[in-house]
Amino acid sequence: MTHAATVHSLWTTAAAAPDKIPSPDIEYGQLSPTLIVLGAAIVGVLIEAFLPRRQRYVAQLFVSVVALAAAFAAVIGLAAGDYGTSKAHVAAMGAIAVDGPALFLQGTILLVALVAVFTFAERRLDPVVHGNRVDSFAAQAAAVPGGDAEKAAVKAGFTTTEVFPLVLFAVGGMLVFPSANDLLTLFVALEVFSLPLYILCALARRHRALSQEAAVKYFLLGAFSSAFLLFGIALLYGYAGTVAYSGIADVVDGQVRNVTPALAGTMGNDALLLIGGAMVLMGLLFKIGAVPFHMWTPDVYQGAPTPVTGFMAAATKVAAFGALLRLLYVVLPGLRWDWRPVMWGVAIVTMLGGAIVAVTQTDVKRLLAYSSIAHAGFILAGVIATTPDGISSVLFYLAAYSFVTLGAFAVVTLVRDAGGEATHLSKWAGLGRRSPLVAAVFAVFLLAFAGIPLTSGFAGKFAVFKAAADGGAGPLVVIGVISSAIAAFFYIRVIVLMFFSEPRTDGPSVAVPSPLTSSAIAIGVAVTLVLGVAPQYFLDLASQAGVFVR
Amino acid sequence: MNPVNYLYLAALLFTIGAAGVVIRRNAIVLFMCVELMLNACNLAFVTFSRLHGNLDGQIIAFFTMVVAAAEVVVGLAIIVTVFRSRHSASVDDASLMKL
């Protein structure tokens, strides 16, 4: 055989190599909610690039609302097609799970985002500047606060319509986060929803120094925690040799034996599993805002523009709890005797810490921030249950809580004085006499936070605590009820302040919102009352959805 | 050389980065420490990839680099905005909000 022929045969064998890389098989239809939202976000970027300034606001609002509504319709379509129950499976080459919890949480996130976009688009609350109606976002984020560039931007009537594509990108990441079925997707989704939120935090029109400070704190701590998450992922990869959830779970359960002696030091090494699992949990607990990883919450909630705070408080929590549930129930169930005591401790300090520190707060937004920490603790109690009821009660609680939060922050945007929103509690004194309707609506939200019957908060808390008690976490329920009582004290205190104290002469006025914010608040009240009065349908829905695919 | 040594190096780099975030006060330096932590993660991924003999870890390292680049864009934008309005990048000066 000649030399040339040898080369030739090498070429032919190479061309006909049997182990071709298979082309990935993506189920576009089942991923359509995420794809619609991310596609609309890119359209939003193009609108920013090509449309004249005057037309951008209407175009962006239209694209965002249509995209979120279409994505929600797609989620409903998938759920109606039994993808949440009998046809639940892992799509996109093992990267995304399409199952009940994923679809339930995606639907919740999309509805929350839709309502949040209404509050983002509100332009009636701030006074008209140079003949232009303005929203809560800076005229030009890059301009130095109080500088000439800012004055020129305000005079020219600039607005930051980039917030709409940013929200859509964040929502896209949040949709993937609870359905991520491998650790790499989890990490990428975390960053995709975190990075737009960091920017959104820095965009407030009033109190810009405060807003930028919040953004810098959120960004540095967020990047720090995601580095921990990533190192945890690296250790879990070293432990299992794969980042797929089912693969790691198999190694945890001992179904995979060490194949080669060379891997004896890493594969199946419990130290890697425990440290890696702890670091990944740390990253997720940071996003949830659980004590002791809650330090950023009050500052960021206070400094960020209030519509952003409402969106962040509601949607981030839903997405992060979804990811936490999937991690604990799909990847690490074999390790639950190790993580349950830790999560017990975290849940206890979160419930008590959030409730006790909230009592001392004097700012409405910080108060709601600490209350969100306490609520994270209540939801963790449901997570610890490790029963199917635990999953469904957490899903229900998240849906109920997110609308109460959105509504409460939307009310905060209405109470204003000359400096913008009047968030100091002393200014809320006597609000019930000035504007009974707004005060009454806020009281409904506070009662729901406190868990008073006939509101969604009661139904959610009852479901979560019942699941925790059935799951053998009785002492946790006792502590939960005690911290609910502490929390109820400061919610009621605000109600008393609004209705039973004299209004201040220099007190704030309540701005009359456009139909956008009004409908956002109305949806919040409606969901709160419906889930409180007739929760059964939604509890059934959550319990149907409460099975993870593996 | 035993590849496990690279894991020790990765852990060391990660610890240096984490300690730097806690100790240092300049936002840019903090941010560089976070980047050091991400690079330590990459080293761990590549080493585990070599140990296990599959390529997942190397692919993940590329994803991490892209994410880190995106994080730099957002992070530097925020830090520079704050620096321009305060003429200081110290995180101790960022104390408008206290309990």
The domains of chain B are located at 4-85
C-alpha distance from B16 to closest chain A C-alpha (Å): 13
Q: Would you state the pLDDT for residue A334?
A: 86
Q: Please, what is the Cα angle at A312 between B97 and A468, to 5 degrees?
A: 105
Task: Look at residue A487 and tell me if it is in a domain.
Answer: yes
Mean pLDDT along residues A175-203: 96
CA closest to B70 among chain A residues: A195
pLDDT digits (tens, 9 = 90+) for A251-304: 888 887 655 656 666 676 889 999 999 999 999 999 999 999 999 999 999 999
pLDDT digits (tens, 9 = 90+) for B21-37: 999 999 999 999 999 99
pLDDT digits (tens, 9 = 90+) for A335-354: 888 999 999 999 999 999 99
Are the beta carbons of A508 and A498 closer than 8 angstroms? no
DSSP string, B79-94: HHHHHHHHS--BTTT-
Dig out the tokens for A135 from the structure.
């929203």
Confirm or reject contact between A269 and chain B (CB < 8 A). no
Cβ of B85 within 8 Å of Cβ of A238? The answer is no
Cβ of A262 within 8 Å of Cβ of B78? The answer is no
**Residue B99: pLDDT band by 50, 70, 90 thresholds?**
very low
Q: Would you state the pLDDT for residue A121?
A: 94
The boundaries of the domain holding residue A414 are: 335-545
Q: Which of residues 156-195 of A touch B (CB under 8 A)?
A: 184, 187-188, 191, 195
Q: Is A333 exposed, middle or buried (0-12, 13-18, 19+ CB in 10 A)?
A: middle
Q: Would you state the pLDDT for residue A16?
A: 52
Cβ of A242 within 8 Å of Cβ of B56? The answer is yes
Pick from A144, A231, A241: CB nearest B84: A144
Task: Look at residue A431 and tell me if it is in a domain.
Answer: yes
Higher-pLDDT residue of B52 and A524 is A524
The fraction of chain A above a pLDDT of 90, given in percent, is 74
The CATH class for the domain spanning B4-85 reads mainly alpha
C-alpha distance from A2 to closest chain B C-alpha (Å): 36
Cβ of B48 within 8 Å of Cβ of A266? The answer is yes
Sign, CA torsion A344/A311/A210/B29: positive
**Residue A4: pLDDT band by 50, 70, 90 thresholds?**
very low
Closest to B78 measured CA to CA, from A206, A300, A199, A210: A199
- How far apart (Å, rounded) are the C-alpha atoms in residues A76 and A104? 9
Amino acid at A186: L
Number of residues that this document lists for chain A: 550
Task: Look at residue A250 and tell me if it is in a domain.
Answer: no
C-alpha distance from B18 to closest chain A C-alpha (Å): 8
Closest to A279 measured CA to CA, from A228, A237, A320, A324: A228
Mean pLDDT along residues B64-86: 94
Mean pLDDT along residues A17-46: 89
Q: Which of residues 2-31 of B touch A (CB under 8 A)?
A: 4, 7, 10, 14, 17-18, 21, 27, 30-31
| Count of C-beta atoms within a 10 Å radius of residue A133 | 16
Q: Would you state the pLDDT for residue A2?
A: 43
pLDDT at A410 over 90: yes
Mean pLDDT along residues A241-250: 92
CA closest to A231 among chain B residues: B41
Local structure of A89: helix, strand or coil: strand
A367-404 residues labelled b (16+ CB within 10 A) or e (exposed): bbbbbbbbbbbbbbbbbbbbbebbbbbbbbbbbbbbbb
| Count of C-beta atoms within a 10 Å radius of residue B2 | 8
pLDDT at A233 over 70: yes
A191-203 residues labelled b (16+ CB within 10 A) or e (exposed): bbbbbbbbbbbbb
Q: How far apart are the first and last CA of chain A?
A: 54
Dig out the tokens for A169 from the structure.
């990108």
Q: Which residues in chain B are contacts of A216 at CB distance < 8 A?
A: 27, 78-79, 82, 91, 94
pLDDT at A364 over 60: yes
Are the beta carbons of A312 and A289 closer than 8 angstroms? no
The fraction of chain A above a pLDDT of 70, given in percent, is 95
- How far apart (Å, rounded) are the C-alpha atoms in residues A282 and A287? 9
pLDDT at A13 over 90: no
Mean pLDDT along residues A22-30: 88
Cβ of B48 within 8 Å of Cβ of A214? The answer is no
- How far apart (Å, rounded) are the C-alpha atoms in residues A344 and A97? 28
- How far apart (Å, rounded) are the C-alpha atoms in residues A231 and B52? 17
Are the beta carbons of A448 and A532 closer than 8 angstroms? yes
**Residue B43: pLDDT band by 50, 70, 90 thresholds?**
very high
Pick from A188, A237, A303: CB nearest B48: A237
Cβ of A262 within 8 Å of Cβ of B60? The answer is no
| Count of C-beta atoms within a 10 Å radius of residue A106 | 30
- How far apart (Å, rounded) are the C-alpha atoms in residues A51 and A159? 14
Q: Which residues in chain A are contacts of B81 at CB distance < 8 A?
A: 141-142, 202, 212
Secondary structure letter of residue A241 according to DSSP? S
Confirm or reject contact between A229 and chain B (CB < 8 A). no
Q: Would you state the pLDDT for residue A505?
A: 81
The domain tally of chain A equals: 1
- How far apart (Å, rounded) are the C-alpha atoms in residues A268 and A324? 22
pLDDT at A527 over 90: yes
Q: Which of residues 125-154 of A touch B (CB under 8 A)?
A: 141-142, 144-145
pLDDT digits (tens, 9 = 90+) for A433-470: 889 999 999 999 999 999 999 999 999 999 999 999 99
| Rg (alpha carbons) of chain B, rounded to whole number | 17
Q: Would you state the pLDDT for residue A378?
A: 96
Lowest mean pLDDT among A21-35, A63-77, A453-467, B3-17: A21-35
Q: Would you state the pLDDT for residue A464?
A: 95
Task: Look at residue A483 and tell me if it is in a domain.
Answer: yes
Beta carbon pairs, A and B, within 8 Å? 135
Cβ of B30 within 8 Å of Cβ of A202? The answer is no
Confirm or reject contact between A484 and chain B (CB < 8 A). no
Are the beta carbons of A240 and A333 closer than 8 angstroms? no
Closest to A438 measured CA to CA, from A381, A509, A379: A509
Q: Would you state the pLDDT for residue A269?
A: 82
Pick from A215, A234, A241: CB nearest B52: A241
What's the mean per-residue pLDDT of chain A?
91
pLDDT digits (tens, 9 = 90+) for A68-112: 999 999 999 999 999 988 888 899 888 999 999 999 999 999 999
Q: Would you state the pLDDT for residue A373?
A: 96
Q: Would you state the pLDDT for residue A257?
A: 65
φ and ψ at residue A129, rounded to 5 degrees: -110, 120
Displacement of CA B88 from its chain's centroid (Å): 22
| Count of C-beta atoms within a 10 Å radius of residue A329 | 22
Cross-strand pairs, A143: none
Q: Which residues in chain A are contacts of B37 at CB distance < 8 A?
A: 224, 227-228, 230-231
C-alpha distance from B71 to closest chain A C-alpha (Å): 7
Confirm or reject contact between B34 and chain A (CB < 8 A). yes
Secondary structure letter of residue B3 according to DSSP? T
Q: Would you state the pLDDT for residue A18?
A: 57
Are the beta carbons of A494 and A425 closer than 8 angstroms? yes
**Residue A3: pLDDT band by 50, 70, 90 thresholds?**
very low
Q: Which residues in chain B are contacts of A184 at CB distance < 8 A?
A: 59-60, 63
HEC sequence for A1-31: CCHHHHHHHHHHHHHCCCCCCCCCCCCCCCC
- How far apart (Å, rounded) are the C-alpha atoms in residues A297 and A305? 14
DSSP string, B19-60: HHHHH--BHHHHHHHHHHHHHHHHHHHHHHHHHHT-SHHHHH
Q: Would you state the pLDDT for residue A456?
A: 95
Name residues whose C-beta falls within 8 Å of residue A149's C-beta, 6 or more positions apart in sequence.
A140, A142, A143
pLDDT at A240 over 60: yes
- How far apart (Å, rounded) are the C-alpha atoms in residues A94 and A180? 9
Confirm or reject contact between A421 and chain B (CB < 8 A). no
C-alpha distance from A260 to closest chain B C-alpha (Å): 9
**Residue A32: pLDDT band by 50, 70, 90 thresholds?**
very high
Confirm or reject contact between B65 and chain A (CB < 8 A). no
Q: Determine how β-strand A96-98 pairs with β-strand A89-91.
A: antiparallel
Task: Look at residue A491 and tell me if it is in a domain.
Answer: yes
Cβ of A209 within 8 Å of Cβ of B67? The answer is no
pLDDT at A21 over 80: no
Q: Which of residues 67-96 of B touch A (CB under 8 A)?
A: 67, 70-71, 74-75, 77-79, 81-82, 84-86, 91, 94, 96
Are the beta carbons of A239 and A266 closer than 8 angstroms? yes
Q: Please, what is the Cα angle at A293 between B74 and A405, to 5 degrees?
A: 80
- Which of A220, A296, A361, A363 is the best substitution to test chain B (most B C-beta atoms within 10 A)? A220
Cβ of A265 within 8 Å of Cβ of B4? The answer is yes
HEC sequence for A426-485: HHHCCHHHHCHHHHHHHHHHHHHHHCCCCCHHHHHHHHHHHHHHHCCCHHHHHHHHHHHH
